[in-house]
Amino acid sequence: MKRVLIATEKPFAPAAVNQMVGILEQAGYEVKRLEKYASKAELLDAVKDVNALIVRSDIVDRAVLDAAKELQVVVRAGSGFDNLDLVTCTEKGMVAMNTPGQNSNAVAELAIGMMIFMSRGQFKGVSGTELKGKTIGVYGCGNIGRRVARIAQGLGMKVIALDPCITKVSMEPYDVKVVQNVAELFSESDFLSLHIPANEKTKKSVNFDMMNKMPKGATIINTARKEVIDEDGLKKMLEERPDFKYISDIAPTNHDELAGKFDFRYYSTPKKQGAETSEANVNAGVAAAEQIVAFFESGDQAYRVNK
Ligand code: 3PG
């Protein structure tokens, strides 16, 4: 009998867990759950005898993969898979997957909400600015970026876009101008919404020089990953450009230094909440469970992310 572990330091909504367990048990698998675990040791112990693992942002590094002697497949229920050690997965013959697109609407809605929050003075009763007629740069043209583009158009914004990882970007069917380079994207964006993955190419790529190209009064909205920001550059930007604003769903390492110092211009959610909706949890969790069943029953590897 196949054993599947759902290991989530940040648990899925109960409706999602119920459906995931139902799908896996229906397939005849045994389901183990490890939620809100306090130490890595608990995860290392729980993975020992499982054939499949479902996680969210939980770190699946070499230590976890070494401990998981029976593991054949790990699914990141979500989009970004920078928490999985893909090299070790490949080395051990394990399949790693994500569930692309399943939580994209939740993240896109949060990005738009954050943009409104910042343009209206963090709802503190001051005079703000409207979004209609302003330009939003969508940096990263995957499922989330495309959804942001569509909603922004509904708000009457001009949308421009660029993807650092895809050479031939298409934003069809939306009326979006795909710009030529990153300097053009930054210099034309009143609002810049980040939807790029954290990888060797993108880490610290949003740096002072790039941010400083942004127009007066510009705002960066980061619902992607903190690693893509050059945090010293962000601090310098906030210090040297009193018109610049930054909002994030993933607190930078220097959050304590920034919070409170730049009133109205800096904000970070206390805990990452982009994919924290019951709909997104159900979508991503169910997709993960179904992908595991498809993998074991018919060898399906459609969403594989390692070589
Ligand atoms: C993702 O990559 O799918 C999002 O960042 C969601 O991450 P989470 O599952 O940790 O909320």
| Domains annotated on the chain, with CATH | 3-102+276-298 (3.40.50.720), 104-268 (3.40.50.720)
Asked if residue 291 has its Cβ within 6 Å of ligand 1, the reply is: no
List pLDDT tens digits, range 149-180.
999 999 999 999 999 887 777 787 878 999 98
Encode pLDDT of 73-101 as tens digits: 999 999 999 999 999 999 999 999 999 99
Q: Residue 107 CA: which ligand 1 atom is closest?
A: 4
Q: Is the CB of 226 under 6 A from ligand 1?
A: no
| Test site for ligand 1: of 57, 269, 303, most ligand atoms within 8 A of the Cβ | 57
Q: Is the CB–ligand 1 distance for residue 222 below 6 Å?
A: no
Lowest mean pLDDT among 28-37, 45-54, 158-167: 158-167
Query: CA dist 53 to 44, 242, 256, Å?
Result: 12, 46, 34
The CB of 84 under 6 Å from ligand 1? The reply is no
Of all protein residues, whose CA lies closest to atom 5 belonging to ligand 1? 80
* CB 275 less than 6 A from any atom of ligand 1: yes
User: What's the one-letter identity of residue 99?
Assistant: T
User: What tokens does 113 get?
Assistant: 């909400």
For ligand 1, the distance from its centroid to the CA atom of residue 287, given in whole angstroms, is 14
Q: Kindly state if the Cβ of 80 falls inside 6 Å of ligand 1.
A: yes
Say whether the peptide bond before residue 173 is cis (omega within 30 degrees of 0).
yes
Is ligand 1 within 6 A of the CB of residue 197? no
- This complex has an ipTM of 0.98
Distance (Å) from CA 129 to ligand 1 centroid: 30
Exposure letters 139-152 (e unless 16+ CB within 10 A, then b): bbbbbbbbbbbebb
Residue 120 above 90 pLDDT? yes
pLDDT band at 260 (very low <50, low <70, confident <90, very high): confident
Q: Is the CB of 146 under 6 A from ligand 1?
A: no
The preferred substitution site among 103, 202, 271 for testing ligand 1, maximizing ligand atoms within 8 Å of CB, is: 103
Q: Is 56 in the pocket of ligand 1 (CB under 6 A)?
A: yes
pLDDT score for 234: 98
Closest ligand 1 atom to Cα of 273: 11
Per residue, the 3-state secondary structure of the chain, as one string, reads: CCEEEEEECCCCCHHHHHHHHHHHHHCCCEEEEEECCCCHHHHHHHCCCCCEEEECCCCECHHHHHHCCCCCEEEECCCCCCCECHHHHHHCCCEEEECCCCCHHHHHHHHHHHHHHHHCHHHCCCCCCCCCCCEEEEECCCHHHHHHHHHHHHCCCEEEEECCCCCCCCCCCCCCEECCCHHHHHHHCCEEEECCCCCCCCCCCECHHHHCCCCCCCEEEECCCHHHECHHHHHHHHHHCCCCEEEECCCCCCHHHHCCCCCCCEEECCCCCCCCCHHHHHHHHHHHHHHHHHHHHHCCCCCECCC
Backbone phi and psi for residue 138, each to the nearest 5 degrees, phi listed first:
-100, 110
**Interval 108-129 mean pLDDT:** 97
Question: Which residue matches tokens 């930007």?
Answer: 237
Mean pLDDT of the chain: 96
Which pLDDT score is estimated for 174? 79
Asked whether residue 141 carries a pLDDT value surpassing 80, the answer given is: yes
- Rounded to an integer, the average pLDDT of 36-53 is 98
Q: Which of 31-35, 57-61, 129-133, 177-181 has the lowest mean pLDDT?
A: 177-181
Does the C-beta of 274 come closer than 6 Å to ligand 1? yes
Distance CA 144, CA 125 (A): 30
Neighbours of 38 (CB within 10 A): 7
C-beta of 19 in contact with ligand 1 (< 6 A): no
What is the mean predicted confidence (pLDDT) over 63-70? 98
Give distance in angstroms: CA of 80 to centre of ligand 1: 7
The pLDDT of residue 29: 98
Q: Computed from CA positions of residues 33, 38, 42, 44, in that sequence, does the dihedral angle turn out positive or negative?
A: positive
> In whole angstroms, what separates CA 178 from the centre of its chain?
22
Is the beta carbon of 285 within 6 A of some atom in ligand 1? no
* pLDDT of 5 strictly over 90: yes
